[in-house]
Amino acid sequence: MNTVEETKTEFLAFLKKKAALEEALNLVYWDIRTKIPKKGTEGRAEVIGVLSEQIFEMEVSEEMAAFIATLAPHRAELDEITAKSLDESNRVYALNKKIPAKEFRAYSKLVAEAENVWGEARAENDFAKFAPYLEEIVTMKRKFVEYWGYEQNKYDTLLDQYEPGMTVEVLDSVFLKLRDAIMTLRGKMAREGTAPNPDLLRVTMPREKQQTFSEQILTKMGFDFDAGRLDDTIHPFAIGLNLHDVRITTRYDEDNFKMAVFGIIHEGGHAIYEQNFNPKLAGTPLKEGASMGIHESQSLFYEIILGSSFAFWKSNYKNLTKLEPKFAQVPLEDFYRAANLSESSLVRIEADILTYPLHIMIRYELEKALMNGELEVADLKEAWNNKYEEYLGIRPEKDSEGILQDIHWAGGDFGYFPSYALGLIYAAQFFHTMERELPELDQIIESDDYTPIREWLTEHIHQYGKLKKPLEILKDTTGEGLNPDYLIDLLNKRYEFVYNLKS
């Protein structure tokens, strides 16, 4: 009979093998979303199904069950990384053991195919082409929720997979407070504010110049180009293959430099998080972000809290004007105000900081309704359009700027969207604490070296990966739990400046 130490060694080797399969799977996902020829999609989807099934079978195998049974009684004797790897493996085992392997493989193949069809449907503005795939995904997700079980709300089960401990009850309360504050501020801006001139930013900037400027920003942020790369795609994303290979993507529009520049800053935040995990977490299930909300807090910290601040553009605007002299005719303060213009828009990734949470709330409410059987895919497009009219006063005319704009549902990622808004709340809380602990923060942001910022984030957040729970990281870093007040305060101060409002 093996000793506990021998079983631990075998367990870690088993996890390392699973991590290698996960890296291969992520590489295939990156390829299918960036470089694959159109005719190669079907075959690649089959590969995704096979790899996903192998990983799934390892997670629910008799071998995994034996590791858990042997090591769990001796958890106190294990080092922290092994103990928490055991906890995470046990959580995933308990969750996935309830899903028949054949159904999981069919689901994995379905979403791989659905992502490709979604891309075609989006290009053709044809939701009807994608709808049958989405109907099947929703049906399978509902079935999985029944397998997994739930207590109060079916959507809680999906939320917990992306944001452990989060519930509909908490989100409903936090989102209501945030929504009321946003609506109040937007009303004040409409009545009393002076709107910036958006024409100042209507400058055509070649793709190559946008990329050069964005890479300059990424370097200042601390993105390691020797451990990552930047590519083009339809829908921007970041994906970590391992600590030394974290890839980001973007979509360029020469008539809207903000989309790519801010998108790259956003995805760069994700990548820097993963590039700074503790190397000891490699090969374990802890080599991931603590949650999607914490992950989004890092991307949104760089994009919204840092990259959309006046201090940020004090240093970076001169580089932009060197690359694109047309901007040199626009004074910095006018440029900054125009860059922070708040207006109702249809596309989430192009939304300003003030309206962005409303885009998330719309998706959250639709997902809740879908998973609880209160809404069907056949009625989803109309429900989407109605929500946009209710929340933002506008209605999509094209599916590509409406229900087909996001890839998440094609990938089956129900429960993910709330992470974006939670990430923004977390980011504002982290920034509030950072301001207190780094009194020279404004000077750092205005400089050409953001190393102290990255080091602070690594010390408090990055290094832990999944070693800590999201709310544990929040409490240890800020001294309190989830609190939207800091985001509300940040929004009020920023838009008082941008719109020349009286406090």
Query: What is the layout of strands, in order, in the sheet containing 245-250?
Result: 228-232, 245-250, 238-242
Count of domains forming the chain: 2
By the 10 Å C-beta count (0-12 exposed, 13-18 middle, 19+ buried), 113 is classed as buried
pTM of the model: 0.90
Cβ–Cβ under 8 Å, residues 411 and 162: no
- How far does Cα 354 stand from its chain's mean position? 18
Structural domain includes residue 154: no
Structural domain includes residue 160: no
Structural domain includes residue 155: no
Of residues 267, 274, 296, 367, which has the active-site annotation?
A: 267
Residue with tokens 């490709």: 116
In what helix (H) or strand (E) does residue 429 lie, and over which residues does it extend? helix 418-437
In what helix (H) or strand (E) does residue 232 lie, and over which residues does it extend? strand 228-232
Structural domain includes residue 162: no
Tell me which of 122, 149, 176 is where a domain ends.
149
Structural domain includes residue 256: yes
Verify that 135 and 89 share a domain, yes or no: yes
Domain CATH for 311: 1.10.1370.30
In what helix (H) or strand (E) does residue 230 lie, and over which residues does it extend? strand 228-232
- Nearest CA to 285 among 29, 38, 450, 68? 68
Which of the residues in the chain have pLDDT under 50?
none
Structure tokens at 447: 């400089």
Verify that 340 and 200 share a domain, yes or no: yes
**Residue 163 catalytic?**
no
Verify that 114 and 213 share a domain, yes or no: no
Length of the chain counted residue by residue = 503
Phi and psi, residue 112, nearest 5°: -65, -45
Structural domain includes residue 406: yes
Alpha-carbon gap, residue 117 to 409, rounded angstroms = 12
Cα atoms in the 13 Å half-sphere on the side-chain side of 410: 21
Verify that 58 and 180 share a domain, yes or no: no
- Nearest CA to 45 among 64, 55, 32? 32
Q: Phi-psi region for residue 342, left (φ > 0), alpha (ψ -120 to 50) or beta? A: beta
Alpha-carbon gap, residue 457 to 273, rounded angstroms = 8
Alpha-carbon gap, residue 185 to 167, rounded angstroms = 27
Tell me which of 114, 149, 184 is where a domain ends.
149
Give alpha helix (H) positions in 125-256. Answer: 127-148, 154-162, 168-192, 207-221
Structural domain includes residue 320: yes
Alpha-carbon gap, residue 498 to 418, rounded angstroms = 27
Structural domain includes residue 157: no
State the pLDDT at residue 1: 56
Verify that 274 and 323 share a domain, yes or no: yes
State the pLDDT at residue 243: 92
State the pLDDT at residue 234: 81
Note down the domain range covering 459: 168-498
Phi and psi, residue 229, nearest 5°: -155, 165
The amino acid present at 327, given as its one-letter code, is F
Residue with tokens 């125009």: 338
State the pLDDT at residue 450: 95
Verify that 485 and 353 share a domain, yes or no: yes
Alpha-carbon gap, residue 11 to 15, rounded angstroms = 6
State the pLDDT at residue 349: 82
Q: Which long-range contacts (CB under 8 A, 24 or more apart) does 495-498 make?
A: 495/185, 495/189, 495/193, 495/340, 495/342, 495/354, 497/310, 498/196, 498/336, 498/337, 498/340, 498/341, 498/342
Verify that 132 and 274 share a domain, yes or no: no
Verify that 135 and 220 share a domain, yes or no: no
Verify that 302 and 430 share a domain, yes or no: yes
Verify that 241 and 276 share a domain, yes or no: yes
Verify that 272 and 362 share a domain, yes or no: yes
State the pLDDT at residue 81: 98
Q: What's the farthest any 2 CA atoms get from each other in the chain?
A: 77
Verify that 295 and 333 share a domain, yes or no: yes
